[in-house]
Structure 1
Amino acid sequence: MLLPDINILVYSHRSDVPDHDAYRGWLEDALHGAEPVALCGPVLAGFVRIVTHPRVFTPPTPLEEALRFVATLRSGPAALTPSLTEHHIDAFLAACHGGRVKGAMISDAYLAGIALSLGCELVTADRGFARFPALRWRHPFDD
């Protein structure tokens, strides 16, 4: 099962970011592929938070447009929205210790914990996830 990071969704949605077409193509292919694509709540919420923020994008994505994008993603044939269990907290804590994280990296450890607890391969443009030794991850263009 694949778990796209927030950055994959942002780069797929915003046409004003570098490599938008390539990210969008990867995401569309994944959502229509054979392997399930986990769209977890924290990633979807993070996507909406970032693209609608006026200090991140000028102009920001209108909220309704961002929510439509989320709905479109969730309607993909391979998409699923997994429920999180208490095990993701244990995996998060282990990722914090194993990755020796602090500050802004805590969000990455939380996402790593989700991926580990669900048995997912994280797909991200952030190569910093290499700091989590137990995590299976890759850049979408490394296929």
Structure 2
Amino acid sequence: MGGVIDTNILLYAANRQAAEHPTARDFITQAARSSEQWYLTSGLVYEFLRVSTHPRVFPQPLSAVQAVRFIQPFIRSSAFQVLSPGERHWDLLDEEVRRLGFPAGNLFFDIRTVVLMREHGLRVIYTADTDFLQFPGITVVDPVHQR
């Protein structure tokens, strides 16, 4: 089953020191080779670039060239599509913010992803981030910590 792949899964796949690395690497490799449709957002791509090159966040940061080279095959793969905001984006954002009450800070990264998912009729996100559990109608699958 295809779906959106969140930044943390990409980061685990890129970080060879992470315990989750082999599982995440295998997961995204299989996704790229599958007949399923997979999705990223431009925000997730840029978040990957930001975190993977940041020396205070990423244990062994990638150079900008390495980070782009890591993500490029997925962006160019016919198995992946990068979601963009459409005409309903801002109305859906307004609905999500009202439903959540008083979201703030980093939660807006997740809100943006969820709004894009809703706009494109997607319900499944592959992530290790439990914050996505608070969004009704979104199915969260953790491909690296499955029990």
Same fold (TM over 0.5): yes
In the alignment, what sits opposite 1:124?
127
The answer to which of 97-106 and 24-33 deviates more is: 97-106
Distance 1:97 1:18 in 2: 38
In the alignment, what sits opposite 1:79?
80
**So what's the TM-score if we normalise by structure 2?**
0.86
Alignment counterpart, residue 134 of structure 1, candidates 122, 128, 137: 137
Residues 31 and 80 of structure 1, relative CA distance in 2, 3 Å threshold? same
Q: Name the SS for the 1:39 alignment partner.
A: strand
Q: Please show how residues 4-19 of structure 1 align to structure 2 within 5 Å.
A: 4-19=5-20
Percent identity for Structure 1 against Structure 2? 26
How many equivalent residue pairs? 143
In the alignment, what sits opposite 2:50?
49
8 Å contact from structure 1 (residues 5, 43) kept in 2: yes
Distance 1:138 1:97 in 2: 25
**So what's the TM-score if we normalise by structure 1?**
0.88
In the alignment, what sits opposite 2:109?
107
In the alignment, what sits opposite 2:34?
33
Structure 2 unaligned spans of 5+: none
8 Å contact from structure 1 (residues 98, 132) kept in 2: no
Q: Deviations over 1:20-63 (max 9, x none)?
A: 10011111111111221112211101100110111112431100
8 Å contact from structure 1 (residues 48, 67) kept in 2: yes
Q: CA deviation at 1:140?
A: 2.0
Residues 108 and 82 of structure 1, relative CA distance in 2, 3 Å threshold? closer
Across the aligned residues of Structure 1 and Structure 2, the Cα RMSD in angstroms comes to 1.9
Q: Name the SS for the 2:83 alignment partner.
A: coil
Q: CA deviation at 1:14?
A: 1.1
8 Å contact from structure 1 (residues 37, 78) kept in 2: yes
